[in-house]
Structure 1
């Protein structure tokens, strides 16, 4: 499906992306805490909504 070179590139890219994301997040952590207070609540509501959709889908399927 994928060549060995493509897999090596994908792994290296993922590692570099995660390192860059962590570095940038740490740099902007103080700004995030000031401007995005309560953002975790939006995430929780979103995840609950997705779970509700899955429950409704399985309920209506039977």
Structure 2
């Protein structure tokens, strides 16, 4: 399905991409703590809303 070169390229690309993402996140960590303080509450609220929709779906299915 894939050639050996394509598999090597995919693996190398994934490793370099993840390394670059980690590097840039570490570099901007101080800015994230300053400007995105409290964003974890938004994320938890979003997960709670999705969970509530799932529960309502199961409740209405019965």
Counterpart in the other structure of 2:45: 45
What TM-score, normalized to structure 2?
0.77
Cα distance in 2 for partners of 1:10, 1:61 equals: 43
Task: Report what 1:26 is aligned to.
Answer: 26
Three-state SS of the structure 1 residue aligned to 2:49 is helix
Gaps of 5+ in 2: none
Q: TM-score when scaled to structure 1?
A: 0.77
Q: Which runs of 5+ in 1 are unaligned?
A: none
